[in-house]
Amino acid sequence: MTNNSKVTLKEGMHFIGELEGFEFNLDADPNFGGKNNGPKPKGLILTALAGCTSMDVISVLRKMKVEPEEFFVNVEGELSEEHPKVYKDILITYHFKGNIKKEQAEKAIDLSLTKYCGVAAMLKKSSNVNYNIVIE
């Protein structure tokens, strides 16, 4: 399977990204000529990780016949000081609400981060990836 993404310059540092028929804005930090017309590309890596692992976790939980009332994932990344600036430490926090046991959440997260999530696998090659679980 091959993926294809394209970005087209609009003006300044504002680009339109295209992926799988969807369009979205990208822009640089104002210190580098951006005007806040969209997220910065590096941050989208964290969103990709959050989306990838979230879909895995929900899929595994559903196979266990577990459906959280609410679920979201927050990902924080700490950048290195030197260029090229990469995420050196990444913390994923999984938030669950409802009738879910910690052991079920841990199993689903472990399967995602060790077996299924390709974004996590790529990031682990250059970053420390850790996680927390919050269950309400």
Sorted by where each begins, the domain ranges of the chain are: 1-39, 41-135
Domain made up of 41-135: CATH architecture: 2-Layer Sandwich (3.30)
Q: Which pLDDT does position 104 carry in this prediction?
A: 98
Q: Which pLDDT does position 94 carry in this prediction?
A: 98
Average pLDDT of the segment spanning 81-103: 97
Q: Which of 118, 81, 76 is nearest to 94 (CA)?
A: 76
Average pLDDT of the segment spanning 99-120: 98
Average pLDDT of the segment spanning 15-32: 97
Amino acid occupying residue 49: L
pTM: predicted TM-score of the whole model, two decimal places: 0.95
Confidence class of residue 83 from pLDDT cuts 50, 70 and 90? very high
The mean predicted confidence, pLDDT, of the chain is: 97
Distance CA 15, CA 105 (A): 38
Q: Which pLDDT does position 1 carry in this prediction?
A: 85
- Check: CB of residue 96 under 8 Å from CB of residue 136: yes
Radius of gyration of the chain from its Cα atoms, rounded to whole angstroms? 17
Distance CA 114, CA 121 (A): 7
Q: Could you read off the pLDDT of 42-73 as tens digits, one per residue?
A: 999 999 999 999 999 999 999 999 999 999 99
Distance CA 1, CA 66 (A): 31
